[in-house]
Amino acid sequence: MKLCRFNDNRIGVVRDDQVHDITPLFERFGRPGWPYPAYDWIVGHFDQVRPEIDGFLPGAQRTPLAEVTLRAPVANPGKIIGAPINYDDHIAEANADRQINHGKHFVSLDKLGLFIKAPTSLLGPDGAVQIPFPDRRTDHEVELGVVIGRQARRVPRERALDHVFGYCVALDMTVRGPEFPGFRKSPDTFGVIGPWITTADEVADPNALDLDITINGETRQRSNTRHLIFNVQHLIEYASAMYTLMPGDVIMTGTPAGVSPVSPGDRMVARVQGLGELTMTIAR
């Protein structure tokens, strides 16, 4: 199932170029009151709604996909987790390029750990990436995004996929520089996800998906998630050893070689096999 958020916070199922509005299925839960839960309310209630969706769809209001405004498919990720060096070819390019490494030498993910992108960095297909420092290098990083569905703490990798809600295309936008990744990767609009969430039951193996990105029509990155050093299960084990993962948390799994600077007016088209195509511009 392809689940989107669209227009004025409607929840939709994308099927055959139509968006079917299933918002009414969530209305019985009432909206959460303060203090608001540190997870995504729609993802957190989805298991209760899922059995009713097939019966609801024939009567649901539908709108052509081309006529809706798609928002980030998770509205409130409690956290967005990033894996900084998770493809060998990206480690090699980073170590070879002073503009990327800024004097650091990268060895392996388990030496460096993960980083957190602020939830305020979130952006969906409706927006544009805003470059905060026009005089500094800002790069695209296309990645597989993993959306957590069930609370997870100290999950062994054998059971990790039980905690996955679904997958999406992700862009881990990055200012290059010497500062901590959590600073350089967290500006507003730097955590891009979309165009929708493809639920986990439709993804046979998340560690075998082609991914690529074009900038103004030119391919810059092209790889397959089989080259992930820490695969999806291993990342969930690693992250959940440190943090409780909550419904709606997003893990950006790392980027392959080919990162490069973007400029105002650029048009990025990012794809992950089976998860759709995410088009994003860099604001002028």
The residues in 97-126 that bind Mn ion, with binding defined as CB under 5 A, are none
- Rounded least distance, CB 18 to Mn ion, Å: 33
- Rounded least distance, CB 4 to Mn ion, Å: 24
- Rounded least distance, CB 282 to Mn ion, Å: 17
The residues in 40-79 that bind Mn ion, with binding defined as CB under 5 A, are none
The residues in 163-182 that bind Mn ion, with binding defined as CB under 5 A, are 172
165 within 8 A of 152, measured Cβ to Cβ: no
172 vs 212, beta carbon nearer Mn ion: 172
Coil, helix or strand at residue 136: coil
Q: Segment near Mn ion (CB under 5 A), from 93-101, 133-141, 156-164, 274-282? A: 133-141
The CA-atom distances, in angstroms, between 185 and each of 55, 123, 131 are 42, 13, 11
DSSP characters over 218-283: EEEEEEEGGGBSS-HHHHHHHHHTTS-B-TT-EEE----S---B--TT-EEEEEETTS-EEEEEE-
Q: Segment near Mn ion (CB under 5 A), from 22-30, 109-117, 135-143, 241-249? A: 135-143
- Rounded least distance, CB 44 to Mn ion, Å: 26
261 cis-preceded (ω within 30 degrees of 0): no
138 vs 255, beta carbon nearer Mn ion: 255
- Rounded least distance, CB 263 to Mn ion, Å: 19
Alpha-carbon span 146 to 212, nearest angstrom: 17
Instruction: Answer yes or no whether residue 199 interacts with Mn ion by CB under 5 A.
Output: no
Alpha helices (runs of H) in the chain, residue ranges in sequence order: 41-56, 88-96, 98-101, 109-112, 181-184, 232-240
The residues in 237-276 that bind Mn ion, with binding defined as CB under 5 A, are 255
DSSP state of 27: G
Q: Segment near Mn ion (CB under 5 A), from 10-18, 134-142, 221-229, 233-241? A: 134-142
Per the structure block, which two tokens stand in for 96? 């070879």
225 vs 255, beta carbon nearer Mn ion: 255
- Rounded least distance, CB 240 to Mn ion, Å: 19
Coil, helix or strand at residue 107: coil
Residue in 40, 139, 141, 237 binding Mn ion, rule: CB under 5 A:
141
- Rounded least distance, CB 81 to Mn ion, Å: 11
Alpha-carbon span 268 to 220, nearest angstrom: 10
Contacts with Mn ion, residue ranges (CB under 5 A): 141, 172, 255
